[in-house]
Structure 1
Amino acid sequence: MRVLYLTLFFLLSSVLLFAQKKKDLERYNERAVSARTDVWAWDIKAFKQPDLTNIDTTQSAVILAKHIDVKVSSSKKLKASVFGFYVQRDIFYATTVREMVKINDKVALDEYSQFSFKKFRQLNGFRAKATTIIGVRIIKADGTRKEVKVDEEMVTEQEENKQQKSKLAIPDLQVGDIIDYFVLVEEMKDASGSIDQQIFVLGDEKPIKQLSVHCEISDKYAIRYTTANGAPDFKISKDEDGNVFDLLVRNIPALPTQLWMSPYRQVANIRMNVNYGRYVYGDIEVPAGSYRKNPLDGEIVSGARLGALGNYRYAGTPGPVSYVDGVRDMIKIYQRDRGSKLPKDSIPYYVYYAMRYMAFFRVFPDSKINVGLSRNQNDSDNRLFISLVARTLRELDIRSDVVLVTNKYGPADGELLEPTDFEYVLKTRTENPVYITSASVFTHCNIFSAAHEGQNAIVTNEVGGPQKRDDPPFATRVKIPFSEASKNSHLEKLDITLDNNMEQLVVDRTTTLRGALREDGQKDLLLFEDYYEEERQALGIRESFMEKFADSRRNKALAEEYTNAFAQARKDQKEAFNSEVKSQFDAAPKELKSYKIRNMGMRHTNPDFVYDTKFTLDGFLKKAGSNYIFDVGRLIGGQLTLKQNQRERKVDMYEPFARSFEHEIIINIPAGYKVEGAEKLVRNVDNTCGSFIVSSTVEGNKLHVSVKKIYKHAFEKAESWSSMLEMVDAAVDFLGQKVLLKKA
């Protein structure tokens, strides 16, 4: 009978679930039809009568019209949505972005022939969720309008924070057509949640003939916004429900937004925060129903200081404090086993790596088994992490201060909107300060994020407290230094022979990654089993989690599961090395003969990530009678290739960081052959922006080729663009260089 009851229960549950899904789908379809009718009927002239005069056909595409519509509604103004009607305390908001784009070439055609979007997503709460409605029309040269049918299947994800993407193909779209599309996202959240920050960027890779914004925000919400980089202000009015914000901009030129730009700092933009009820943070207060434009930097700094202290206090709560206790215990064991105390100037480094271990390397019996490469992508909560480090250091009699720094890809001083525009860095109050930033699996201590380089930062003593007599002088501001190109380098040493059939290259390679170029390689290639063991021993942790599991009758089976998981991860690592070779040489290896990590680069004391690979490559040799043409240029891997519309530039360059790429290549010349054309490989471009230098010599049966490409700075003025072009073009030109292996 119990089995029968359970069977009937699950059958009934399945029926009810199916019925609910059918009801949700019907409601979604009904709302989608209604939304498309509303959007296509917008009374905006730029969409009804698109301006086709003075179309710049040198541009891949031109945005004829773009409109962003935002509605944050109270219950009295809440219309039907896919969610139905909710209680008054819920927040409903909808954002619609509509664009009408003229397709001028095949590049744009490929871009707009398929949309990928998140049709439904579960957000950060049981009731909080969003859905997406999309509409697409094609307008032919004769004015014919054809609406693209959209599959109305509603995607629902049950797992928290999971997202499922949908794809929509756009058939019959051709060069010369106009595509008119919109994406509407409707969300429902609890009133205690916050509305996503609205960012209106008044620029694009493509020229925009007209861009407009319309926001209707209920008077139950407080609004703060900033206008940056010369952005015009809203025209603000009132309706029966609250504030209305309107903006109209015409004839916006194309900008190279996808190449070395910081849009927050270089493109006119407006950022807007919307909060339910009265907004109060530090010295900032905005009543519900009102708005505040361009808050003062001093108010933002005050709020950021308060946030630093608040985070420090949060680190004292029961969960995080276990991290602090854990690190202190590790230090005690480390010192006891070595019979001596850690020198005071070594303590910040030990604490940093111990806290990194606590955050990313520890394994508990109830931990989800994850020892594959995906584990390498984990990041920490920066503010919580450094507050835990600060608390631990303080208990070890080392005080530290919080440095407030802006990200170079975020807003600049004078255009800040909220305290979170600042990021936190910890600075120890020692004779030689140690700087500590956020941690991920492979971050180093005392290394600045590339995004912080060159920034003027504010030092706040909220966490460190008043100065003590033996403290070094307190500086209220510091400038984060730029790193040199030599510190961020990718070095390749290649020893190349030709196989007996003169068809494939056999490449014996050593790769060294340094500085800001190091971490991505580690994430792609390193195994948890290896770096866990190295760090465990470096920190003086006596027993690995595998040893603990094996010694426990309760967890012995778990040790076997981890052993199997480690074995699978090693199989996956081989595929990762295959992918790395393909990425580097734009050609998959015919065979990956061997691969080995020489140095994992886990700490600042031994920072380089070094690995060896041996593999074969096909397609670099072409038979020409009894001779062979060798594509030597391709050995340096893919190079930055500029689009035609990127070759002219009038804005400054925000590069990721100064960096260098070096290739030391030895090609073993087969017996009976000699090299011709080696002298044509030589290049010598060296200017204020960078350099591309190639030398080539033949010594006996070996062709030596040395290639150095250097980006000298992380920031360049627009006036230097011609120099940058010279270096970039030289590298692209070299890709096509060949030598002749001539039968002797």
Structure 2
Amino acid sequence: MKYNYLFLLLFCFSITNAQKKEEIKNLFWNTNDEFGTIVAVPEKYKNESAVIIYKNENYDFHKFGKSVTYTSSVRKRIKLQDQAAVTEFSEFSFKDRFYSNKGFSFKKGTITLGIKIIKPDGKEIEIDVNKESVEEDESKKVAISNLEVGDIIDFYYHSVEPFKSSLEFGFEPVETTLGESYPILDLKITFETENDFFVNFNSYNGAPELKKIETKKSNERKYVLSASDVAKNDFPRWFLPLVELPCYKFQVFFARSGKFEQRADAFLSDKESDIKKTVSKEDILDYYNTKFYPSGNLNDVNDFLKGKSFSSDEEKIKEIYYFTRHQFYTRYIEAYILGETKIMSYPYALYDSYPIFFNSEEQFIRYFMAYLKKNDINYDIIVATGRENGPIKDILIQQNARVLLKINTAEPIYFGIFTPYSLPNQFDTSLENTNAYALKVSKNKKVTDIEEVKLPTSTNDDNVSKVALNVAFDVTLNTLKINKETSLFGNNKSFEQSDKMNFYDYITEDYEKYGTTPLLDLVRNKKMKEKYRKEYDALLQKMKDKQKESLKKAAEREYNVKVDDFSFEIVNTGRYGETEPFQYKENFTIKDDFIKKAGPNFIIEIGKLIDSQVEIEEKEYKRENNIYTSFPRAFNYKIEFSIPEGYSVTGLEKLNKTVENETGSFISKASIIDSKLHLEATKKYSHSYEPVANWQKMIAFLDAAYQLTQEKILLKKN
């Protein structure tokens, strides 16, 4: 009886599951489907790789008591017009089960995928997804066989995510362009919500507006965005789609009552029945007026300052920054590592007092505000957004806002990032040269006003990479021995520090600077200390070996060759000065690659010893979009190549190049001094933004840099 009952239970579940899948299928493919018979595309799109005949997105937010259900789906009907499109749609990957991480419950969500193929003769082939799918890396994969040019693929993806919540909760925002890589003949996006769901939604750059659809129930709301003949989008390198292309952004926030609305991390509308389209300066002021306030015990800072003198207020504040970074962050890193790896059960107990650990910029800003208030130092709270999100006046999603602290000393100081490597006046590079809002703090007590300001920008003199290589060629072993030293400044430095350093590369530096006792030295029991030390040393060695292997692979990717005898050494962490470089050395050998024997002579691909350069492909030469690079920057390479005894160099003239214009430059010079070939090359990007009219000027110096990497010299036997 037990087995019969189990069989009956599984049978009933199977029937119910099949019924649900059939209901979902009928939402998309039914007798009323007005797009189900469309197979032709306009003549003007005959040369496109594919054309999206119909795209339909649906978002549904509903609740019953503490239960909330978020349902989303997308359906596409696509005409495949060349082999590239056939290849792209020949495989689907998906998860049919997942657990919701929303709210306070741990409930299972479901995903349903439906696929059918319409052949040119009208024959429809529905894919049995359950039968055809195979498990792969915690997901499922469906291969579509016999897909051909001229076929139409019609598929839907339906997700149901249930969870429980009695608190405020923000769903993941959606920010996307209206168009895709293929033209869309008909596009429809629908929203359905009810009471307690707040919607922020707006269209930009010419995208259609969201329209409200009347419903029969006053507590239910429905909206739709429709568009037809949507042009395909190109997404070239160095481009910000949401800044220039028709797009839309939205976020839905769930809040059951007024107190939860007040706590919400969102710019909410006054009424849940109203769509929030814009966020005003006043909205920003209201939101942040209570979010940031002075908070923290200043005893540690006061003790640090005792007996010290400084040449300026700026120097004093920067030194407090570095001390705070150590006192509330780096001094606890070892404890965190030992606790996470189970070497010690609760290492924080070794400290004299309960540790205060800052793990966010917000905590640090509040603490520093307390110091500024106590010492009557004027400051502003800056609210900004990355330029990839568009201008600050169009900010809609609170998650896109970044907060900085501006200290109004004679030379203003900005605090915007708080990491083990961060420095004063360092903030997210996407904020440079953007408009932002300054919340004016009156008499260091409360925010009383808000005004629009411009954030500073760096230059290519600030953001510099200097790379020096000493190269020796072993003729008998056909090997290049390379000693490489890299010095990074400004944003170039901050981009590399977290990749090239681990905590053990700088923690001793901090201990020595501030006289802090390393964690294991706090352990009094000699036997336990020896045990912890042995396990910790083994952990460090394992981490260092892994780091070395990772850095070796990075060097191999950079030069696209195999390297041997690799070593890495940090010379300067660059963590205590804005003009101080992050400096490291790499030594390695390259065998056979970059070398070609030609009788008694050798051809050396000397240009490839410079770091890889941007290669502009033929299809990129024609461009319609403006150019957005990361920030102004410069790269300087110096190669000192020892000429083997008994050989001379020819082909030097190809290594001399000069291209300069207002967008940037590339200059390389080569000479032979004391049996050494000296090659120096410098590439500069003048700005982070260039209008599309300047694209050919950028290509000029980019191509010159790439061409140098293709140049060779001949080592001629004397």
Query: Same fold by TM (over 0.5)?
Result: yes
Match of 1:524 in 2: 499
TM-score, normalised to structure 2, is 0.83
Between the aligned partners of 1:639 and 1:57, the Cα distance in structure 2 is 36
Please give the per-residue CA displacement for 1:461-480, whole angstroms capped at 9, x wherever unaligned: 34863699xxxxx9944321
Give the Cα separation in 1 of the matches to 2:152 and 2:645.
Answer: 61
Contact 2:51 2:79 in 1 (8 A): yes
Aligned to 1:52: 41
Are 2:455 and 1:480 equivalent residues in the alignment? Answer: yes
Match of 1:599 in 2: 572
Distance in 1 between residues matched to 2:411 and 2:341, nearest whole Å: 41
- Aligned residue type for 2:582: F
Please point out which of 247, 255, 258 is paired with 1:269. 247
Question: Would the aligned equivalents of 2:200 and 2:268 in 1 still touch at CA under 8 Å?
Answer: no
**Aligned partner letter, 1:214:** T
Aligned to 2:271: 287
What CA distance in whole angstroms lies between the structure 2 residues aligned with 1:303 and 1:670?
71
Deviation at 1:427, TM superposition (A): 1.3
**Residue 683 and residue 166 in structure 1: after superposition, are their counterparts in 2 closer, same or farther (change >3 A)?**
farther
User: Out of 268, 276, 291, which is 1:310 matched to?
Assistant: 291
Which amino acid is the alignment partner of residue 515 of structure 1?
G
Letter aligned with residue 177 of structure 2 = V
Find the aligned partners of 2:705 and 2:16 in 1 and give their Cα distance.
Answer: 56
Alignment of 1:503 onto 2:478: yes
Could you state the TM-score of these two structures normalised by the residue count of structure 1? 0.81
Q: What is the aligned counterpart of 2:368 among 368, 389, 393?
A: 389
Partner of residue 15, structure 1: none
**Structure 2 residue 425 is matched with structure 1 residue 446:** yes
Q: What CA distance in whole angstroms lies between the structure 2 residues aligned with 1:295 and 1:516? A: 32
CA offsets 1:343-369 (integer angstroms, 9 cap, x no match): 754442233233333235414387313
Q: Deviation digits for residues 67-110 of structure 1, max 9, x if unmatched?
A: 221112344xxxxxxxxxxxx33221122233445556676666
> Against the structure 1 CA distance between its residues 329 and 169, is the aligned structure 2 distance closer, same or farther, given a 3 Å change threshold?
farther
| Matches for 1:323-472 after TM superposition, within 5 Å | 324-325=296-297, 328-335=298-305, 339-340=307-308, 344-357=313-326, 358-362=328-332, 363-364=334-335, 367-369=339-341, 380-395=359-374, 397-462=376-441, 465=444
Q: Give the 3 Å change call, closer, same or farther, for CA 379–340 of structure 1 in structure 2.
A: closer
Deviation at 1:190, TM superposition (A): 2.9
Tell me, yes or no, if the aligned pair for 1:102 and 1:177 is still in contact at 8 Å: yes
Structure 2 residue identity aligned to 1:492: V
Q: Deviations over 1:443-471 (max 9, x none)?
A: 11122321111112222134863699xxx
Instruction: Specify the code of the residue in structure 1 equivalent to 2:293.
Output: Y
Aligned positions of 1:69-468 closer than 5 A: 69-75=58-64, 88-101=65-78, 112=89, 114-115=91-92, 120-124=98-102, 125-127=104-106, 130-137=109-116, 146-147=125-126, 150=129, 179-191=153-165, 192=167, 193-240=169-216, 242-276=220-254, 277=256, 280=261, 285-288=269-272, 290-306=273-289, 309-312=290-293, 316=295, 324-325=296-297, 328-335=298-305, 339-340=307-308, 344-357=313-326, 358-362=328-332, 363-364=334-335, 367-369=339-341, 380-395=359-374, 397-462=376-441, 465=444
* Structure 2: distance between partners of 1:632 and 1:172: 49
Tell me the SS of whatever aligns to 2:456: coil
Give the secondary-structure state (helix, strand or coil) at the position aligned to 2:285: helix
Match of 2:541 among 562, 567, 572: 567
Distance change (3 Å), C-alpha of 1:114 and 1:665: farther
Gaps of 5+ in 1: 1-18, 76-87, 157-162, 317-323, 372-377, 469-473
Could you tell me how far apart the structure 2 residues matched to 1:597 and 1:20 are?
A: 64
Secondary structure class of the residue paired with 1:292: coil
Cα gap change, 1:335 to 1:387, in 2 (>3 Å) = closer
| Cα distance in structure 2, aligned partners of 1:72 and 1:150 | 27
Report the identity percentage: 24
Aligned residues: 679
Tell me if structure 1 keeps the 8 A contact 2:277–2:396.
yes
Query: Which residue number corresponds to residue 637 of structure 1?
Result: 611
For residue 310 of structure 1, what is the amino acid of its counterpart? Answer: K
1:656 deviation in Å? Answer: 0.9
Letter aligned with residue 400 of structure 1 = Y
The answer (yes or no) to whether the contact 2:53–2:184 under 8 Å persists in 1 is yes
| Partner Cα distance (1:70, 1:253) in 2 | 24
1:8-59 CA distances to partner (integer Å, 9 max, x unpaired)?
xxxxxxxxxxx99999999777755654554444966556424434465776
Change in Cα spacing, 1:28 to 1:460, as seen in structure 2 (3 Å) is farther
Q: Go from structure 1 to structure 2 and tell me whether the alpha carbon gap of 1:696 and 1:395 turns closer, same or farther (over 3 Å shift).
A: same
What code does the residue aligned with 1:369 have? T
Are the aligned partners of 1:524 and 1:576 in contact in 2 as well (CA < 8 Å)? no
> Do the aligned partners of residues 43 and 641 (structure 1) sit closer, same or farther apart at CA in structure 2, a change above 3 Å counting?
farther
Aligned to 2:671: 697
Equivalent pair of 1:297/1:413 in contact (CA under 8 Å): no
Tell me: CA distance 1:593–1:194, structure 2 relative to 1, closer, same or farther (3 Å).
closer
**Deviations along 1:427-454, whole A, 9 cap, x unmatched?**
1243333210121232111223211111
